[in-house]
Amino acid sequence: MRFLFRLLVVATVLIGFSYHIFAHSKKAWIVPDETKEIKNPVKATKDSLDRGKKLYETNCIQCHGEKGDGKGSLAETLETKPANFTDTHMMNMMTDGEIFWKISKGRGIMQSWETVLSEKERWDLVNYIKTFAK
Ligand code: HEC
């Protein structure tokens, strides 16, 4: 009986521990390869960045934060934390096409924006959120 009890304790701890790791590991967001090749048709001019900033403040700031660090006012309440655009390493790993695709499709709590924002608006946002990492 004692042995069984110990076994049960060990099993419970192990399950709890793996659940902990699982729940907190960020699932990689894999995009289709061809989306990485999509070229950004909108130059990051001052006009594009101004438009991007406005769109960001209306649609994205509440989660991704004023500084793009993922600490928006809603972030605390979210299970999956919003991406941190000041993370230069992460931002450099993504092509414009990949960022565009992620904004367009969304994942989980981050909704899809392709029916809400025009293509040009989404490219303005790509240009704008890249400025956080500089
Ligand atoms: C309701 C909160 C919320 C809003 C609003 C929101 N996002 Fe997100 N966003 C998230 C979360 C959470 C993730 C991480 C999703 C994941 O990894 O499953 C994310 C991920 C991203 C990513 C992918 C980064 C990566 O990990 O590769 C980009 C790009 C992005 N958001 C851009 C935007 C833009 C642009 C807007 C506004 C048009 C926006 N988001 C609005 C919550 C939000």
Ligand 1 centroid to Cα of residue 45, in Å, is: 23
> Residue 10's pLDDT is what?
65
Give CA–CA dist 59/119, Å, rounded: 15
Task: Find how far residue 11's CA is from the centre of its chain.
Answer: 34
Q: Whose CA is nearest to atom 6 of ligand 1?
A: 60
pLDDT of residue 101: 98
pLDDT tens, residue by residue, 54-64: 999 999 999 99
Q: Answer yes or no: is pLDDT of 92 > 70.
A: yes
Residue with the nearest Cα to atom 11 of ligand 1?
Answer: 82
Cβ pair 100, 127 in contact under 8 A? no
Task: Please check the confidence at residue 2 and state whether its pLDDT lies above 80.
Answer: no
What is the reported pLDDT for 24? 46
Going by alpha carbons, the residue nearest to atom 20 of ligand 1 is: 83
Residue whose Cα lies nearest atom 31 of ligand 1: it is: 83
- 30-69 tens-digit pLDDT: 899 999 999 999 999 999 999 999 999 999 999 999 999 9
- Within 6 A (CB) of ligand 1 lie 29, 59-60, 62-64, 74, 78, 80, 82-83, 99, 102-103, 107-110, 113, 125, 129
- CA–chain centroid gap for 36, Å, is 16
